[in-house]
Amino acid sequence: MREILENIFSGPVKYIMIIYLVIGLPLTLIYRKKMKNKTKKYLEENPTASKIIILTSTFLGDFSDNLDVVKVDGKKPNIFCEKMKRGILVLPGKHVVEAEASWTRKKVFKTVHTSTGHKKLEIEVEAKKCYSLKYNTEEKKFVFEEDENI
């Protein structure tokens, strides 16, 4: 085990790790702090805003999916990150959300990638509530529901 670690950290990986620690990690921390401040400011300006958490899954390399919210009411969404989860902030009322789901399934001889393309969803949210948005690949539809566990 020690030999393996010495071999890994003796080659070019050592320099890549140093570059990441010097440049990448500080930039990541600055970005996260900026996003957190932006979210805090938005929630202070709009105290009735609701959160919609975007749920995705990965099953040990066999299957993975992704869900992107492209637009909310024709505008760029207010994105936030909380506890390693992504989401969007919306004001109470009815909204048109444009989203795209894609998923990848690994098979024996090939990898299959599937996408829904941009789909418009009509949703209604109440003040100060949490919701989840996910794509059910078996039923081939978006699922939007109130989620108290988030």
Whether residue 57 is found in the same domain as residue 116: yes
pLDDT tens digit sequence for 13-24: 788 888 888 999
Query: 91, 97 in Cβ contact below 8 A?
Result: no
What pTM was estimated for this model as a whole? 0.80
Whether residue 83 is found in the same domain as residue 21: no
Query: 130, 50 in Cβ contact below 8 A?
Result: yes
CA distance 116 to 135: 10
Whether residue 82 is found in the same domain as residue 28: no
Residues of the domain holding 20: 2-41
Whether residue 24 is found in the same domain as residue 56: no
Average pLDDT of span 38-48: 95
| Residues contacting 88, CB < 8 A, separation 6+ | 51, 52, 54, 69, 72, 77, 78, 79, 80
Domain count of the chain? Answer: 2
